[in-house]
Structure 1
Amino acid sequence: MIGTLKLYALVGMSILPFFGGAQSKKTNPPNWYNLDYQADGVRGISTEKAYELLQGRKSTPVIVGVLDGGVDYNHEDLKDVMWKNPKEIAGNGKDDDNNGYSDDVYGWNFLGNANGENVHYDNLEVTRLIRIYEPKYISVLPSTALSEAERREFVAYQKMVNDYTSKSDQANFGNLNYGRLKEEMDVMIKKIGKDPKDITKADIDGYSPNSERQKIAIRMAKRELDNTPFLEFYKDLEEGAAYFHAQAEYHLNKSYDPRSIVGDHYDDATEHFYGNADIKGPDADHGTHVAGIIGAKRDNGIGINGVANNVKIMGVRIVPDGDERDKDVANGIRYAVDNGAKVLNMSFGKGYAYNKKAVDEAVKYAEDHDVLLIHAAGNDSKDNDIVKNYPMKYYTDSLDAIVGEATNWITVGATSSGLDDGLLASFSNFGYKSVDVFAPGVKINSTMPESTYKEQDGTSMASPVVAGLAALIRSYYPTLTAKEVKDIILKSVTKVDEKVKIQVDGASKKVYLDEISVTGGIVNAKKAIEEADKYVQGKK
């Protein structure tokens, strides 16, 4: 699921931080994630230092598949780095290159149909699974006779119900209270008579509330306006209201199922040819932001500098507002691989799987075709060694036992620019075995639809930093395999000796990064180039 981090939850009659979005009020350079700790004082990945080492060397273009919710391919800072299918003629309604996908000029959208209709919202996977299992198990008693397989399924169903109930309660509470709060704020804005961008703290101080709800709204606004402009505060409120509305109306609504829009045979995971060529879709915020981090055109005097300087971004739309479906994930991987991508970024994840086998087979397909997969660890402040986050680098059998590990997979947690125990992003998942590395994922400025820019937080932002680094290495060292590039990235991290804060069972705990990840470090582009040089020399 692609979800917002910059939210607040109503607790009683006050608003408190909900997720880890507002990590800090610290202002960073817009390009901080590409900067160097020694030279610039922020824990970036030393991209600019890497390019100093690469000066004068030649590179070859690398196609990077952005498996996400949509990419604005006309963005001013992306249009020159978008992949274009050389054998496809745009808009003629034909499959010119005979790859099974008509008019796939910039990529493919597995969340739509041939008539141009697209899925915007979808359920969480837990909602979809409950919809399947509820008719079978809702009336089961402890004394009901069940087979061993049914008993396992029933136990899993019970856990799902508990999780679903908790999420539903929170969503309904947030939807009700956020909706009311935004209504009151809209009334206040109208009476003040100014555009939200022009409203000041003095306007709020001088406003006379006419209801208890407005008093609450004013108290909340005053507290936030000590550090935040009103427009930013109002946009956060809008975002929170929209988030909880989507949760209640779509994500957790068992009566809502939009799959008929796609019109595929959903349970047939071997079906590959469905969707349309609209890679932007109805909501391209997240995918556009991710794409910019990877490869927004460098040194063009516009917007931002992506990590990689010679990439082609392929848009593969597989993630709705809600949880992605395993069939679409598997097909998205296969499409990108078949059309030349050598690095895939996957900034999505969920707590349940419907058809993990299909995804595992697609990951193996990518492995067999020398394609490197970069995946976000998740934003729940959880230990992925304990709480599963799908998809994952582990192959499993029908009993969910681990039977292997992908050699072409990197899982990425998120860090901030901080030099203290707040270095680990408060929202970031972690895992001694399951999370490989960390990368910047807080206050990351990148591209947004309609040629705009915005700071966002998440492991969704950290993953494309690593995907950009992987593309950079593959671009300058085209003979290296996916596994070799992975090994170079993991071997060249910047180790962090200071302890960082994590949440365990509701309590804060300080640990070293090597206690909560495979490498114990943050990716470093300069060191990776140095390591790649040694690697190539060693192969001669």
Structure 2
Amino acid sequence: MRTWKRFVLLGVCILPLLGNAQSKDTNPPNWYNLDHEADGIRGISTEKAYELLNGRESTTVVVGVLDGGIDYEHEDLKDVMWINPKEVSGNGVDDDNNGYIDDVHGWNFIGNANGDNVHYDNLEVTRLIRLYEPKYISVLPSTPLREDERREFVAYQRMISDYTSKLDQANFGNLNYSRLKEEIDAVAHSIGKTIEDLTKADIEAFKPKTDRQKLAIRMTKRELNDDKSFQDFYKELEDAVNYYRAQVDYHLNKSYDTRHIVGDNYEDADERYYGNADIKGPDADHGTHVAGIIAAKRQNGIGINGIADNVQIMGVRMVPDGDERDKDVANGIRYAVDNGAKVINMSFGKGYVYNKKTVDEAIKYAEKKDVLLVHAAGNDAKNIDMTKNYPTKYYTDSLDAVTGEASNWITVGATSSGLDGDLLAEFSNFGYRSVDVFAPGVKINSTMPKSTYKEQNGTSMAAPVVSGLAALLRSYYPELSAKEVKDIILKSATKVDEKVKIRVDGSTKKVYLDEISVSGGIVNARAAVEAAERYVKERK
């Protein structure tokens, strides 16, 4: 989930540029583990929780990370990766007879038996338009249709409107970011330096010769600040170029379809056994970062400290660069449940759904098996009571009427270290009924492929904070059920008596967290441990 939120002038148009204002706050790299009272920063009091747990025994908890891939050889993750005890690596045999060959660290549902992997895919709206377009492209509002066809047609019209808007933005972003990068590259060439050697001083001293160079230099200067080097800016610029190029070439390209790589019968939602054992895949940035927040080896003197200290990470790859597919989401949940996960992190989401029934059935399966599901709320700064972000905790029928709510589900919004109005991450979705709780999600430092580390922003980072806390509770209090862990996390959340800023209908509004979430608070590990201790004692 990426977010482009701040705006600058490029030519005659407004273009979203890099990062967000809150990301300029300077915090300790582990701020999300700190304590508000002791450290003055609204972290989740992880270290204070471990002080309370000193001397208490724990059991190992498996956390399934459903994502785009994990670098399982990372220096700070290799010791906490789940290892299938009954599977022999690389022998080409399904040793444990679970239907998945060589699934030593997990499974990849977007690859094939030959080792080929899906990298890019469409957005779900693109796939749905491709599906419905042959049937409805020539239909008029006055065309006679059955009731079910009329519903599909109305939905198709909404999709076309949304798709057209997305495509216009993507084309605009692709053109303008690419031009900006070309200008900066030309400036570096003119100065006689490589991008790696270019400095802020070089940018300040450069005398632009054309209007486009003037604009490029002005934009670059605006982005550079005391804690950002030119190389940091350029990397963000490259990310923006790649993001919009992927939107145009893959996500919104109706002619692009990579499902044939997987080789499954895509229309058979009950099909379980396809894919391969490559849980890393071609792009493991996002999943590696998520895994580190949950479980990076604590107190090893390397990198960062994850939230949970007795945990194993099971990698389940099913998110491409694009939107995940419902069949893969359902199978990812079932795989993690069947292979021992007690917590499942899902830092992904989309605005449209193809087969919600299949996903609902998998959620119910996890609910029956006492597995807690933690889902990111999304990064569109929207009220998801009104604007859907799938998958959801609500079970629905064929008419999209709510028929129930999963008791084993937590939806997580994101906060920053800011105070008052700046506390809510400016990109975070919210919802009085749909978002359960908030957790830190701005400038979260965590693991990246090739044993590196990086700060990232998103509800994708907030969800694993909660997954890590849930794993901690299930590790030290194994008698607690998934529902009990959820209730403890929500009820022990720190209530904030400050209004935060949200965007509603194009304008800024200030609200309390209890107006935009179920719990009205930010998760607190110390308070959750205290609550769990009381709960267990009272039950005895």
Q: TM-score, structure 2 length as denominator?
A: 0.98
Against the structure 1 CA distance between its residues 126 and 19, is the aligned structure 2 distance closer, same or farther, given a 3 Å change threshold? Answer: farther
The AA in structure 2 aligned to 1:112 is G
Counterpart for residue 294 of structure 2: 294
Distance 1:235 1:80 in 2: 30
Mapping for residues 459-498 of structure 1, pairs under 5 Å: 459-498=459-498
The AA in structure 2 aligned to 1:454 is K
Secondary structure at the aligned position of 1:64 is classed as strand
Mapping for residues 7-86 of structure 1, pairs under 5 Å: 11-13=10-12, 17=16, 21-86=20-85
1:5 CA drift (Å): 4.8
Q: Does 1:253 pair with 2:242?
A: no
Which deviates the most, 370-379 or 142-151?
A: 142-151
CA deviation vs aligned residue, 1:207-231 (integer Å, no higher than 9, x gap): 2434332222111112222443111
Counterpart for residue 101 of structure 1: 100
Contact residue 10 and residue 176 of structure 2 kept, 8 A: no
1:92 CA drift (Å): 0.7
1:90 CA drift (Å): 0.6
Contact residue 15 and residue 220 of structure 1 kept, 8 A: no
Distance 1:36 1:11 in 2: 42
The AA in structure 2 aligned to 1:520 is G
Deviating runs (4+, > 4 A) in structure 1?
4-11, 13-20
Secondary structure at the aligned position of 2:461 is classed as helix
Counterpart for residue 166 of structure 2: 167
Secondary structure at the aligned position of 2:497 is classed as coil
The AA in structure 1 aligned to 2:303 is G
1:202 CA drift (Å): 2.1
Counterpart for residue 284 of structure 1: 284
Counterpart for residue 219 of structure 1: 218
Distance 2:160 2:401 in 1: 23
Mapping for residues 25-424 of structure 1, pairs under 5 Å: 25-227=24-226, 228-424=228-424
CA deviation vs aligned residue, 1:423-469 (integer Å, no higher than 9, x gap): 00000000000000000000000000000000000000000000000
Contact residue 3 and residue 379 of structure 2 kept, 8 A: no
Counterpart for residue 512 of structure 1: 512
Contact residue 7 and residue 236 of structure 1 kept, 8 A: no
CA deviation vs aligned residue, 1:101-144 (integer Å, no higher than 9, x gap): 00100000001001111000000000000000111111111221
1:205 CA drift (Å): 2.7
Which deviates the most, 37-46 or 192-201?
A: 192-201
Count matched residues. Answer: 539
Distance 1:502 1:55 in 2: 40
Contact residue 66 and residue 346 of structure 1 kept, 8 A: yes
Distance 1:515 1:57 in 2: 37
Which deviates the most, 184-193 or 461-470?
A: 184-193
Counterpart for residue 435 of structure 1: 435
Against the structure 1 CA distance between its residues 13 and 192, is the aligned structure 2 distance closer, same or farther, given a 3 Å change threshold? Answer: farther
Secondary structure at the aligned position of 2:439 is classed as strand
Secondary structure at the aligned position of 2:2 is classed as coil
Against the structure 1 CA distance between its residues 113 and 24, is the aligned structure 2 distance closer, same or farther, given a 3 Å change threshold? Answer: closer
Identity of aligned residues (%): 76
Distance 2:4 2:462 in 1: 14
Contact residue 59 and residue 475 of structure 2 kept, 8 A: yes
Distance 1:15 1:166 in 2: 15
CA deviation vs aligned residue, 1:252-309 (integer Å, no higher than 9, x gap): 0000000000010001110010000110000000000000000000000000000000
Gaps of 5+ in 2: none
1:396 CA drift (Å): 0.3
1:20 CA drift (Å): 6.2
The AA in structure 1 aligned to 2:241 is A
The AA in structure 2 aligned to 1:494 is T
Q: Does 1:502 pair with 2:502?
A: yes
Gaps of 5+ in 1: none
Secondary structure at the aligned position of 2:422 is classed as coil
Against the structure 1 CA distance between its residues 8 and 232, is the aligned structure 2 distance closer, same or farther, given a 3 Å change threshold? Answer: farther
Distance 2:17 2:160 in 1: 23
Counterpart for residue 539 of structure 2: 539
Distance 2:243 2:223 in 1: 20
Q: TM-score, structure 1 length as denominator?
A: 0.98
Contact residue 15 and residue 173 of structure 2 kept, 8 A: no
Contact residue 376 and residue 462 of structure 1 kept, 8 A: yes
Distance 2:456 2:5 in 1: 8
Over the residues paired in the alignment, what is the CA RMSD in angstroms? 1.4
Against the structure 1 CA distance between its residues 379 and 490, is the aligned structure 2 distance closer, same or farther, given a 3 Å change threshold? Answer: same
Distance 2:288 2:13 in 1: 34
Distance 2:81 2:32 in 1: 22
CA deviation vs aligned residue, 1:395-436 (integer Å, no higher than 9, x gap): 000000000000000000000011221000000000000000
